[in-house]
Amino acid sequence: MPQSAEKFLPGRLSRAGFVALALTSAAGIMLGEFLLAACAAAAAGISLASNPRFTSHHARLWKHFKTASYSILAILLLVALWQGPWALSHWLYVLPLVTFALMPTHIAALITALLTFAILVSTQWAVILPDRHQMISAFVLTTLLSTLLIFLREYKARQLAPLRRTDELTQAASREYLSADLHKEIQRSEREGTDMSVMMIGLDTHLSDNDPDEDIRAILPRIGRYLHSQLRDFDTYYRVADLQFLVILPGINTAGAAANAEKIRNGLCKLLDSHGMRLTVSTGIAGLNIGDDADSLQHSAANALRRAQQQGGNRTQAYSNWRHPDVQSPTGTEGDAR
């Protein structure tokens, strides 16, 4: 999964870094150090594009801007090895970490290897630079330490993945715990004689091919926060697919769950529209019936959602195992057309 710079440069730090680098760039222009000013400006662009406050809108454009800023910074630092100022060579020490922060691990490893080769070759040719050998050894050491840090981070993430209860991107409960949690809720509902429903939420991406995956992934954290704010404290929601969520609603029958689903669906549509995304949302509802287990209840909710999307999306569909001779599909209600 791509490692975004947001993990390394949180919002406040990225803003502070942008201000500091912008001032450095301005000072470089005043002092006539134009290469320093250009490097600082490129680094400021990376800090600006790493701030989630800005990147929530037009994520794809910001991603291209971040990549362009990084490319310019790397090229300028290589040029500085030949033309100076020599102090800019120390900026190369943080370049591997920045690379891994902005790009997927496998791509960052390849770029780091190519940059290391280019830097070593450049320093071998640039014999007039002072402390050339010290610079080479220090750069190789910092690169190895950066690689070790990235390896430990990836190793820790893999070790903790089975223990993580929430999805890292949306803060929804992990899918691995869904069946066990749903089984417990079914048992409690049957024991106490109360209603229970399941709601499946899905983005109608098949109806709009114009919105890139990057924009959708950028909005997922806001979708997760919206669901958290709209659900009760004892409701739980899970990310069951890349763009689908399942919500367990204890104590609510199918009609009540459908009303809640319509409210949430309309709210999500407004959220997506406020970020310039022409996407709709569909929901599928399934109430607990006699003989249902965790698998059958999930299957019913998924079928209801699939039926809603097959009928054009932007609607709530309630599944029913009751069949009339003339009715061969789940019943449902269509949402307001946008």
Three-state secondary structure string covering the chain:
CCCCHHHCCCHHHHHHHHHHHHHHHHHHHHHCCHHHHHHHHHHHHHHHHCCHHHHCCCHHHHHHHHHHHHHHHHHHHHHHHHHCCHHHHHHHHHHHHHHHHHCCHHHHHHHHHHHHHHHHHHHHHCCCCCCHHHHHHHHHHHHHHHHHHHHHHHHHHHHHHHHCCECCCCCCECHHHHHHHHHHHHHHHHHHCCCEEEEEEEECHHHCCCCCHHHHHHHHHHHHHHHHHHCCCCCEEEEEECCEEEEEEECCCHHHHHHHHHHHHHHHHHHHHHCCCCCCEEEEEEECCCCCCHHHHHHHHHHHHHHHHHCCCCEEEEECCCCECCECCCEEEECCCC
List the beta bridge partners of residue 319. 286
Query: What is the mean pLDDT of the segment spanning 68-96?
Result: 81
- Stretch among 100-109, 214-223, 251-260, 263-272 having the lowest mean pLDDT: 214-223
Cα of first residue to Cα of last residue in the chain, in angstroms, is: 34
- How many C-beta neighbours within 10 Å does residue 100 have? 24
Measure the CA–CA gap between 49 and 218, rounded to whole angstroms. Answer: 13
Asked if 250 and 188 touch (Cβ cutoff 8 Å), the reply is yes
pLDDT of residue 162: 53
Q: Model confidence at 259, in pLDDT bands (50, 70, 90)? A: very high
Q: Model confidence at 32, in pLDDT bands (50, 70, 90)? A: confident
pLDDT of residue 58: 59
Judged against a pLDDT cut of 50, whether residue 335 lies above it is answered with no
Q: Model confidence at 317, in pLDDT bands (50, 70, 90)? A: very high
- Stretch among 22-26, 35-39, 132-136 having the lowest mean pLDDT: 132-136
Torsional sign, CA 203, 208, 209, 210: negative
Counting residues of the chain whose pLDDT is more than 90, the rounded percentage is 21
Asked if 69 and 77 touch (Cβ cutoff 8 Å), the reply is no
Measure the CA–CA gap between 119 and 113, rounded to whole angstroms. Answer: 10
- How many C-beta neighbours within 10 Å does residue 327 have? 10
Judged against a pLDDT cut of 50, whether residue 285 lies above it is answered with yes
The string of pLDDT tens digits covering residues 137-193 is 788 888 888 888 888 888 877 766 555 566 666 778 777 788 888 999 999 999 999
The string of pLDDT tens digits covering residues 198-239 is 999 999 876 555 544 556 777 888 888 898 889 888 888 898
Q: Which residue has the tokens 């949306």?
A: 170
pLDDT of residue 207: 57
pLDDT of residue 57: 55
Tell me what the pLDDT averaged over the chain comes to: 79
Side-chain-side CA neighbours of residue 294 (13 Å):
14
List the beta bridge partners of residue 258. none
On the 0-12 / 13-18 / 19+ scale of CB atoms within 10 A, 303 is middle
pLDDT of residue 17: 79
Measure the CA–CA gap between 224 and 287, rounded to whole angstroms. Answer: 23
Measure the CA–CA gap between 255 and 296, rounded to whole angstroms. Answer: 19
pLDDT of residue 206: 64
Measure the CA–CA gap between 212 and 170, rounded to whole angstroms. Answer: 18
pLDDT of residue 9: 41
- How many C-beta neighbours within 10 Å does residue 270 have? 12
Task: Pick the more confident residue, 140 or 301.
Answer: 301
Judged against a pLDDT cut of 70, whether residue 279 lies above it is answered with yes
The answer to whether the predicted template modeling score (pTM) of the entire model surpasses 0.75 is no
Measure the CA–CA gap between 20 and 27, rounded to whole angstroms. Answer: 11
